[in-house]
Chain A
Amino acid sequence: MSSLTLVTCLAVTLSQAPAPAEPAADAPVAPAAPAAPSLQPTAAVAPVATQAVRVHRDERGFKLQVDGRDFPIRGMNWGYTPIGENYRYSLWNQTDDFIRAVLAREMTLLRDMGVNAIRQFDDIPPQWVEYIYRNYGIYTVVNPLMGRYGTNVNGVMVPNTDYSNPVHRKALLTDLAQRVERYHNTPGVLMWMLGNENNYGLHWTGYEIQALPGQEDAARAEHLYSLMGEAVRTIKARDTHHPVSIANGDAQYVDLIARHAPELDIFGANVYRGASARDLFDVVLQKLNKPVMFTEFGADAYDAKAGREDHLAQAEYLRKQWEEIYSQSYGHGRAQNALGGFVFQWVDGWWKMGQESNLSVHDATASWPNAGYPSDYVEGQNNMNEEWFGISTLGPEDEAGIARVQPRTAYYVLQAAFRLDPYAATTTSDTIRQHFAAIRPTEMSRGYESSMALARTEELSAVRVSNLRLVMDSSMSRGSIATTRPNLDTVDHTESIFFDLAMQPTSGVYGRASFNIVGNVAQNRLNNLFYENRGTQPTPTTAGAPTGPGTVPGAVGQPLGLERFALYQAEFKLDREDFNLEGFYRVGHTHWGEEGDFFNLYREAHYGPNIDIYHGNAPFGVVFSGKKALDGFKVAVGPELYWGANPSIVAKYRKGVGPVMLTLVHQEDLARGAVQQTASVIRERVARRTALGLEWNRGPMGLELGGIFAAPQRIGEEFIWTRPTNGASYLGSGYEVLRDKVQLLDTLGAKARLTYDLGMVRMFAQASFRGLVADAGPEQRTVLTGWSLRESGRGNHYAGQAGLSVQLGTLQVAPNVLYQKPLIGPNPTIADAFDAETGRYYPGVRPRSVLSDTFSVLDNRETLGAELLITFDPTPGTWFWSWDRDMREDAPFAAGLDLVYRHQPTSRDAGIAILANGSTIAFGKAPPASDEWEATLRMVGNPTKRLKLYGTAMVGSNQSSGEDARQVLRYGVDGSVLLDTLMLTAQLRMNDWGPYDYHRVFNLTYPLQAGGDLSYGLKRPVLGAVTTRFGLRGMVRMLDQYSEGLSTAALAEGLMGREYEVGAYAILSL
């Protein structure tokens, strides 16, 4: 069953060569000896005009003909996605030499099997369609997806296509017309195929395969199939040489197809009915009077009931399915409308479960039920294993970097099946039956069973080392006479080993644990906070001062004893009929913002390297997700569900009620977390929160409303607040000081957001009111585009925000304004006093803190903000503002400029610092009221397939997050050059904070920080994964009186310091 995997990798083949001269009209196209592979076939082979492909019909039925010759479709959904990659990977983005090498291996196997066509989504360049045809005689079906996985509307990728929206329809048809012009004269194109189960996409909530829906989306299906009818006419107006088919989800809505798309030439469907399609051929003949082509069909090679591979069952299903196709084909007395089919699929897709994670795990989770496959079907349980549909297994890459494939038994069974020509004069229904009866999978399985791949898979399927990584690093550093770091060379080294154990005890159960062992840990690193340095002191030893006398940067503890061994990550998944259970420890998860969590009580938990740097133990918890009767119900519980969370439980229930979707979320802190790791992630006071959200969409308009009830535990708590006065003031401070207490209304909040999508112009506006203690989470979702100016999620404020995104071709201009103001402003610092004469005591006033006060003013400080985001991205399918744009963006050049200005007329309450001894303190004051601004320019370029360039330049004026009043005007540039697997990165920062949180907290800046890294890897780096690399690095930084590490003498004499580090490293990763 196809899914987004197919976005990048599907196809079909026929083992027939380019047309020889004057073929016999009724004879199948004879395979021809393939020519030597060449990317410029016209130079070696005589030019071939565009083939005329048509559906032939007479009283004996339907059959496909290419240039007048019969063409039984023996097709394959083919694609190339190595282990560790996912749908983002595209073979066609690799070098020409690599593509040729992959095709030489895989197309040869397909041709030898008898495959004569492949199905490909339309990312295959026409040159490769022709190349495959000329060199292997295999045709390509070009398959525009018609918005199945989103639509590019005026440069904006809309994830859920609205087939009733005229703007979406126009965008799809315009794009289709352009694609037809691009492909229709390409030799090797067999036909057009529209969509991929778009009827199922009307119902499914994600890109993964789910249980097949019923007819509940009939109203929206009308719009879908009327668009398909227009699409057929769009193609036929431009291409008269190739028939048009569809990839429907089974025969669902066939009546609508008859009504809206009568010009369709071939009814194609993804059919997963088991060994027989039963009445499908007859239904299509009766209702559509069209030929049938299976665009996907087959069986997985995993027995979900027994929890083991079952390649024999897969081969047997395919044998029976092909026998039925033959017997239903032209001239054999039954429906006589079967043209052939495209087996799903060529090779296992290891990425299909989860799609973004566990890409190197062959997941045996069955994700949907199908009683048509009785060999492993159990009532009420899933039995379809998405990652096991290949008729070949997928193995690790060989020495040439090409993923190994090992044909399963089904390969040999189909090879034998395809030897029979269904249209030969001697082929009858009896000969078909005899031919297939003679094919016995058990006799053809020996080759596969004896292969090393199977042996290894079986041996390692329960427990295996799924990853092993060795890191070796050596470094030399030196300070100067003005630094506390010695003015002499110091050399040290670090060794670290990570290894992962993966467990799959049975179907639907998966676990992984990753461990780290440390050898020596370098003590001379300039950036001395890293995972292996588990004895590191995370902050300066004196609060509020850069470095005290005798404090040596890098003077950190060496891990000893058991600290050398650590559990780095762990996770498990349990997939059952009624629920999923997932556990995670230091493994990221996504937020629930897209699932109705309007107040962001369950936050995103992907932290990149920071979680290692600060030795965080988050996220840590378990999530229960209900299915069937419990669909929409989720519960998460854990010691730290996201970084900074208290031990808590979060429950959510989401349900559609008429035209609106309601979501109820409750979060309960069970205790206060004890450990604080870094100042930017502070565990705040215990709270209880309940939020109700409502979503309503109508056409281009969306409305979200929500209310929250938070922290009722604080009702009755007293607090002090102040307000400026020109009259008599408290202790002559200029303020009146008042005592108040939290009341019920202070626990309430509300928020509303309206979005409007006009295609080229999209806009949103939102407003909110939050009581003093009505804290929630910061906004987790991306609203319209990648703005960085966002309203605070904290209580104690009201706010309004509005934004507009205008798409001008490949340029997006997006202004955004925000105003927010706390209900009660920050406290100033007023020293206490005692009047000995009267005996009266006047308490002091100090800024509040999240550690102990009832509420505070931090990112909810009064702000009038404006942002202008300008993005140039000629390939909006790869969204420029996604987190992994550096690697994912495929445009020759794309760039984004983000300008943000924050007018802040008042100050805020106290920031937090974590001292060297691990204690947490609140500062006694805050930086003064001051405006801040930033300008950031991000660029990605792909001048050639081999070369990628990306980088960022920024300038900004910002405040410390601690108490220091000095505002920092800082500059920075970083850039990377990736040539094949050789990578050079460089950074230059001026007057900027050091690399860690405490540098900003204590306002520690360096006049200059510069660094570079040159590395060579065995493969291109992949974001989020560590691959084998060997590299050299270096960095230098200048120190002044604001820097950490300048000596006391240098401070007194006003000297500048300098320190540098060079190093070499090797990372070996399986």
Chain B
Amino acid sequence: MKTWLVLAAAVGISGCYDPASFVYGESLEDLTLQLHSSNVGIHPDNSVLTDPNNPFAHTTPGVETKWKIQSSGAHVAAFYSWATLLAREPGGEAQFYVGNTLLAVYQSGAASQEELPKVKAQAIRAYQSVLDNFPDSVTYDATGTIAYDLVTPAYKGIVEMGGTVQGGWTLVKLTNGQDRAVKP
């Protein structure tokens, strides 16, 4: 009797223990953007980490991987990549590329028709967040030594999308002919 009880318990225990599944990687193509929350992708919101649609919710894109994704044309995947980085390690570069990828999603229509106006608005907010939260942020070229400021392209991004730049920022032309966003 005892033996049967032990066997029954063992079978019961093993039966209620779900087996693990192998990780093979997943396709980032065919992702469609659905904004998980009203502030997703805007610092300091980190709701993207709980977005079931986010392929990076349980990982963090590596230093090289994020650029590969960015340059692959998978705009939705790139958005999730940068938004995840922004949530985990807040910085102007991630915030700028959130806006950049949202702009690309909008322009490529990689979201449902109902979502596209929200995507556009969210892209403008992301660029504005660069100006508001990371005014000194820069990005680097492949050598990692030359910095480009990000506030200027963020400013231009807002304007390009028909938005209005907030916070007193303005665009000035430098003596070398280049534009520069400044906050007097």
Alpha-carbon distance between A843 and B22 when the two chains are bound, in angstroms: 12
Asked whether A834 lies within 8 Å of B21 as measured between CB atoms, the reply is no
Give the docked Cα–Cα distance between A806 and B29 (Å).
69
Scan A720-737; emit 1 where CB is below 8 A from any B CB, else 0: 110000000010000011
Q: Which residues of the partner chain B approach A836 to less than 8 Å between Cβ atoms?
A: 68, 71-72
Binds B, one of A204-212, A442-450, A739-747: A739-747
Tell me whether B59 and A834 are in contact (CB under 8 A): no
Give chain A residues whose Cβ lies under 8 Å from the Cβ of B27: 838-841
Question: Does A738 interact with chain B (Cβ within 8 Å)?
Answer: yes
Complex CA–CA separation, A842 to B62 (angstroms): 11
Interface pair B28/A840, CB less than 8 Å apart: yes
Which partner residue on chain B sits nearest A740 by CB separation?
B20
Tell me whether A844 is interfacial, beta carbon within 8 Å: yes
The answer, yes or no, to whether B65 is at the interface (CB within 8 Å) is yes
Encoded as 1 (CB less than 8 Å from any B CB) or 0, chain A from 968 to 995 comes to 0000000000000000000000000000
Known A-B contacts A834-B72, A836-B72, A839-B27; A718 and B58 likewise in contact (beta carbons under 8 Å): yes
Any A CB within 8 A of the CB of B114:
no
Which residue of chain B has the shortest Cβ distance to A743 in the bound complex?
A: B17
- How distant is the Cα of A843 from the Cα of B84 in the complex, in angstroms? 13
- Residues A741 and B18 in contact in the complex (CB < 8 Å), given A718-B58, A720-B23, A843-B59: yes
Are A743 and B22 also in contact (CB < 8 A) when A832-B59, A832-B65, A843-B59 are? no
Confirm or deny: A833 has a beta carbon within 8 angstroms of a beta carbon on chain B.
yes
A378 at the interface (CB under 8 A from B): no
Report the minimal beta-carbon distance from B87 to chain A, rounded to whole angstroms. 12
Partner of B22, one of A736, A744, A833, A844: A736
Residues of A within 8 A of B16 (CB): 743-745
Collect the chain B residues with CB atoms within 8 Å of residue A745's CB: 13, 16-17
Question: B23, A730: Cβ atoms under 8 Å?
Answer: yes
Give residues 697-726 of A contacting B (CB, 8 Å).
718, 720-721
Shortest Cβ gap from B26 to chain A (Å): 6
Q: Give residues of chain B (18-40) contacting chain A, Cβ–Cβ below 8 Å.
A: 18, 20-29
A841–B21 CB distance below 8 A: no
Query: In the complex, what distance in Å separates the CA atom of A738 from the CA atom of B62?
Result: 20
Q: Are the C-beta atoms of A841 and B55 separated by less than 8 Å? A: yes
B47 interface residue per 8 A CB criterion: no
Asked if A841 meets B58 with Cβ closer than 8 Å, knowing A730-B23, A739-B23, A833-B65, the reply is no
Q: How far is the CA of A399 from the CA of B140 in the complex (A)?
A: 74
Within 8 Å by CB of B20, from A721, A730, A840, A843, lies: A721
B60 to A, closest residue via Cβ: A844
Q: Which one of A720, A736, A739, A844 lies within 8 Å of B62 (CB-CB)?
A: A844
A831 interface hit (Cβ, 8 Å): yes
A921 nearest in chain B by CB position = B89
List the B residue with the shortest CB-CB distance to A718: B58
Residue-wise interface mask of A (442-466) relative to B, using a CB-CB cutoff of 8 A (1 in contact, 0 not) = 0000000000000000000000000
Find out whether the CB atom of B60 lies under 8 angstroms from the CB atom of A839. no
- Closest-CB distance, A1048 to chain B (whole angstroms): 18
Dominant secondary structure of chain B at its interface with chain A: loop
The answer on a CB contact under 8 Å between A842 and B22 is: no
Residues 813-849 (chain A) with a chain B CB within 8 angstroms: 831-836, 838-844
Chain A residues in 8 Å Cβ range of B65: 831-834, 841, 844
Contact of B59 among A721, A730, A736, A844 (CB under 8 A): A844
Knowing A745-B17, A840-B27, the reply to whether A834 touches B68 (Cβ < 8 A) is yes
Q: Does B98 contact A (CB under 8 A)?
A: no
Interface of chain A: mostly helix, strand, loop or mixed:
strand
CA distance A461 to B22 in the complex (A): 72
Chain B residues with CB under 8 A of A720:
23, 58
Contact of A842 among B25, B60, B72 (CB under 8 A): B25
B121 within 8 A of A: no
CB proximity to B under 8 Å, residues A855-896: none
Contact-residue bracket for chain A: 20 to 34
Are B20 and A738 in contact, with the CB atoms below 8 A? yes
Point out the residue from B25, B61, B62 that lies within 8 Å of A840, measured CB to CB.
B25
Asked if B77 CB lies within 8 Å of chain A CBs, one says: yes
- Tell me the complex Cα distance, A844–B61, Å: 8
Q: When the two chains form their complex, are residues A843 and B58 in contact, meaning their CB atoms are under 8 A apart?
A: yes
Q: In the bound complex, how far is the Cα of B69 from the Cα of A840, in angstroms? A: 10
Q: How far is the CA of A839 from the CA of B23 in the complex (A)?
A: 16
CA distance A743 to B20 in the complex (A): 11
Q: Which residues of B contact A738 (CB under 8 A)?
A: 20-23
B28 pairs with A841, CB closer than 8 A:
yes
Per-residue B-contact encoding for A1011-1036, CB less than 8 Å = 1, 0 else = 00000000000000000000000000
On chain B, the residues within 8 Å of A842 by CB distance are 24-25
Is there a chain A Cβ closer than 8 Å to B165's Cβ? no
A839 surroundings in chain B (CB, below 8 A): 27-29, 72, 74
Contact across chains for B23 and A840 when beta carbons are under 8 A apart: no
Q: Is the CB of B25 within 8 A of A843?
A: yes
Query: Which residues of A have CB within 8 Å of B71?
Result: 836
CB proximity of A357 to chain B, nearest CB, Å: 45
In A478-529, the 8 Å CB interface with B consists of: none
- Considering the chains assembled together, what is the distance between the CA atoms of A1027 and B28 in angstroms? 69
Give chain B interface residues in 133-152, CB to chain A under 8 Å. Answer: none
Within 8 Å CB of A832, what residues of B? 59-62, 65
Looking at the complex, which one of B21, B60, B74 makes contact with A739 (CB distance below 8 Å)?
B21
Specify which chain B residues have a CB less than 8 angstroms from the CB of A741 in the assembled complex.
18
With A and B bound together, what is the CA distance between A744 and B24 in angstroms? 26
The one of B13, B23, B24, B28 that contacts A834, using a Cβ cutoff of 8 Å: B28
* Least distance between B31 CB and chain A CB atoms (Å): 10
B167 nearest CB across to chain A (Å): 26
| C-alpha spacing A744/B17, complex, angstroms | 8
B69 CB contacts on chain A under 8 angstroms: 834, 841
- In the complex, the chain B residue whose C-beta lies closest to that of A924 is B60
Instruction: Give Cα A684–Cα B112 distance, bound, in whole angstroms.
Output: 41
Closest Cβ–Cβ distance, residue A920 to chain B (whole Å): 13
Residues of chain B within 8 A (CB-CB) of A744 are 16
**Alpha-carbon distance A838/B24, docked complex (angstroms):** 13
CA distance A730 to B21 in the complex (A): 13
Contacts of B29 in A (CB 8 A): 839
The answer to whether A840 and B26 touch (CB under 8 A), given A832-B65, A833-B65, A834-B69, is yes
CA gap between A843 and B27 in the complex, in Å = 11
Residues of chain A within 8 A (CB-CB) of B59 are: 832, 843-844
* Residues in B whose Cβ lies below 8 Å from that of A743: 16-18
- List residues of B (89-127) whose CB comes within 8 Å of A's CBs: none
Contact status of A831 and B26, CB under 8 A, knowing A743-B16, A839-B72: no
Shortest CB distance B95–A (Å): 19
Question: Closest residue of chain A to B13, judged by CB?
Answer: A745
* Docked complex Cα distance between A542 and B24 (Å): 36
**What CA separation (Å) do A235 and B154 show in the bound complex?**
98
Closest to B23 in A: A737
Query: Which chain B residue has the least Cβ–Cβ distance from A836?
Result: B72
Question: Once bound together, how far apart are the Cα atoms of A839 and B78, in whole Å?
Answer: 12
| Bound-complex Cα distance A437 to B62 (A) | 96
A residues in contact with B17, CB < 8 Å: 743, 745
Contact B20–A739 (Cβ < 8 Å): yes
Task: Tell me which residues across on chain B come within 8 A of A838, comparing CB atoms.
Answer: 27
- Nearest 9 A-B pairs (CB), nearest first? A843-B59, A842-B25, A740-B20, A839-B29, A738-B20, A737-B23, A834-B68, A840-B25, A832-B62
- 25 A-B contact pairs sorted by A residue (CB < 8 Å): A738-B20, A738-B23, A739-B21, A739-B23, A743-B18, A745-B17, A831-B62, A831-B65, A832-B60, A832-B62, A832-B65, A833-B62, A834-B65, A834-B68, A836-B71, A836-B72, A839-B27, A839-B72, A840-B25, A840-B26, A841-B28, A841-B55, A841-B65, A843-B56, A844-B65
Q: A743-B17, A841-B27, A841-B77 are in contact. List 9 more A-B contacts (CB 8 A).
A: A743-B18, A832-B60, A839-B29, A840-B25, A840-B26, A842-B24, A842-B25, A843-B23, A843-B58
Residues of B within 8 A of A (CB): 13, 16-18, 20-29, 55-56, 58-62, 65, 68-69, 71-72, 74, 77
A→B interface (CB under 8 Å): 718, 720-721, 730, 736-741, 743-745, 831-836, 838-844
